[in-house]
Structure 1
Amino acid sequence: MSVNGLHELHAVQRAIAELRAEAERREAEARARAEAADRERRAFELAVGPVTPLPDPNLARPERPRPEPLPRQREADEKRVMQEALSDDFDVEDLLETDDGLFFRRPEIGLDVVHKLRRGHWAIQAQCDLHGLQRDPARERLASFLRDARRAGLRCVRVIHGKGHGSPGREPVLKGKVRSWLVQKQEVMAFAQASAAEGGHGALVVLLKGEPGGR
C-alpha cells in the first residue's frame, strides 16, 4: 500500500476510535445518571418506608420482552466512515469498457442503459463540480455529494472533473481518480463520458441506484 493509502487508513482508524470513545462516554454518562436515580430512590425508601408503585392504567404492557439495547448509531457511523474511505490505490482499469468512449457499468446493467445515459434519457438532476480542487477535498466533496443525492432519491447526476488544462503537464489528474472513486461506490450503477453539450471530456454522467420498488 502506498504512503497516501496508509495515511488514509490511519485517518479511518482514528475516526472509528473517536466514534467509539464518544459512544463510551455517552454510555458512561447514562450509567452515572441511572446510578444517581437509584441512590435517590433508595434514600426515599429509607425515609418513608417501602413503596409499591401503582401500575399506570394508561400504559400498554408489551407482550414480548424488550430487546437488549444495541449501539446501532455507533455501528452505523463506523459503517459510513468505512464506506466513504475511497482509496486512491483502487485499480479501476479492468472494470472500464470502451466503444466510442470510456464507460462503466455494473454486471447487472445492460449496454442499452449506457446508451440511454449517453443520449440523455434521464434528466440530470444535480451536479458536483470538482474542477480546480486538490485530490483530498475533491474526494470528500464527491462522497458527500453522492450520499446526499442518494438520500434525495436522485437517479442521474453529473460529476465535473475538468479537462486538466490547468494541471501540471496539462494532464487531467482528477479524471482517473474520479472514475476510481465512482466505481468504489455501490450506489453508482453506471457512468459514461458526458456529451459535448454537458461537459464532454471534462465530465461524467452517472446513474445511481434507485430505491427498492422505484423506477
Structure 2
Amino acid sequence: MKVRALADLKTLQKVIAQRAAAEAAAREAERLHALRMDREKRLFELAVGPVRPLPHHRRVIHPPAPVSTEPRQRQLDEHAVMREALSDEFDVETLLHTDEALSFRRPGLGPDVTRKLREGHWSIQKHIDLHGLRTDEAREALGRFVREAHQLGLRCVRVVHGKGLGSPGRTPVLKGRVQRWLVQKKEVLAFVQARPAEGGAGALVVLLKPVGR
C-alpha cells in the first residue's frame, strides 16, 4: 500500500509540475507579447511623432431607415396625371361629336357603335355611383374607376351621375362634368345615356377600349 501511495504522490507531483510549467509558459508568452506591442508602438511614435487618441463624443450612429417597397412616387404621379387630365374647362364641342341624345363616340367609329351600346349589345360589367360626392371627389373617383376597369379588361361600365333632383334649382351638377371628364379619358371609346331601367338621364353607359389597344 505504501508503494502504491508513493507512486500516486509522484504522479500528482508530476501533474502539478506540468501545470505550473504551462502557466509559467503562458505568462512568459503574454510578457513577450506586451513587450512586442510596446516596441511597435514606440517605433510608430518615432516614425510619425507624438499621437493623441481622438476624443469620444458619445455620438449614436442610427442605421438608415428601411426603404419602402410601396411604389409611392408612381402613385403620386398617376394621381397628378389624373387631376390634370380631367379638366372642368375642357370644351367637348371643339373636338368631339355629340348628338341630340347626348351620346359620344371617338372619331373613326361608326354610328353603329353607339346604337349597339344603347341596345345593350355589351353587358354592363361594373358601375360607379357618384351621388353625394363633391366635384373633386367625383372627378378623382371617376378617373380611378375608368383606369382600373380598363386594366381589368372590362369593356362596358355604367356611371351614375344623378338627375339633379336634390340639387339647387333641380339641375344636375355632375352630368355635364362627367361627360367632359369621360371624353378626356383615352380608355373611353363611346358613351350613351342609359336606358330607363339602368338609370335613364341620371347615368351613362360607357364603352372602353380593349386591353392593349
Q: For residue 99 of structure 2, what is the amino acid of its counterpart?
A: T
Give the 3-state SS of the residue equivalent to 1:157 in structure 2: strand
1:132/1:162 contact within 8 Å kept: no
Equivalent-residue separation in structure 2 for 1:137 and 1:75 (angstroms): 21
State whether structure 2 residue 132 is matched by structure 1 residue 138: no
Unaligned runs of 5+ in 2: 1-63
Equivalent-residue separation in structure 2 for 1:182 and 1:97 (angstroms): 13
| C-alpha distance after superposition, 1:17-42 (max 9, x if no partner) | xxxxxxxxxxxx79xx9xxxxxxxxx
Q: For residue 112 of structure 1, what is the amino acid of its counterpart?
A: D
Q: How does 1:73-92 map to 2 (within 5 A)?
A: 77=75, 80-85=78-83, 86-92=86-92
1:127/1:157 contact within 8 Å kept: yes
Equivalent-residue separation in structure 2 for 1:139 and 1:104 (angstroms): 19
Equivalent-residue separation in structure 1 for 2:161 and 2:201 (angstroms): 9
Equivalent-residue separation in structure 2 for 1:90 and 1:193 (angstroms): 20
TM-score for both structures, normalised by structure 2: 0.61
State the partner residue of 1:118.
118
Give the 3-state SS of the residue equivalent to 2:103 in structure 1: strand
Equivalent-residue separation in structure 1 for 2:181 and 2:89 (angstroms): 10
TM-score for both structures, normalised by structure 1: 0.61
Bigger Cα Rg: 2
Moved over 3 A (4+): 73-79
State the partner residue of 2:99.
98
Equivalent-residue separation in structure 2 for 1:129 and 1:152 (angstroms): 19
State the partner residue of 1:176.
176
* Percent identity for Structure 1 against Structure 2: 59
Q: How many residues align?
A: 144
Offset of 1:81 from its aligned partner?
3.4
1:126/1:158 contact within 8 Å kept: yes
> Alignment RMSD, CA only?
2.3
Give the 3-state SS of the residue equivalent to 1:201 in structure 2: helix
Equivalent-residue separation in structure 1 for 2:98 and 2:193 (angstroms): 12
Q: For residue 146 of structure 1, what is the amino acid of its counterpart?
A: V
Offset of 1:153 from its aligned partner?
0.6
Give the 3-state SS of the residue equivalent to 1:123 in structure 2: coil
2:194/2:201 contact within 8 Å kept: yes
Q: For residue 195 of structure 2, what is the amino acid of its counterpart?
A: S
State the partner residue of 2:5.
none
2:163/2:172 contact within 8 Å kept: yes
Offset of 1:87 from its aligned partner?
1.1
Offset of 1:164 from its aligned partner?
0.3
2:106/2:189 contact within 8 Å kept: yes
| C-alpha distance after superposition, 1:92-129 (max 9, x if no partner) | 13424214x11111112211010000000000000010
Equivalent-residue separation in structure 2 for 1:136 and 1:82 (angstroms): 13
2:151/2:211 contact within 8 Å kept: no
1:156/1:206 contact within 8 Å kept: yes
Equivalent-residue separation in structure 2 for 1:121 and 1:187 (angstroms): 19
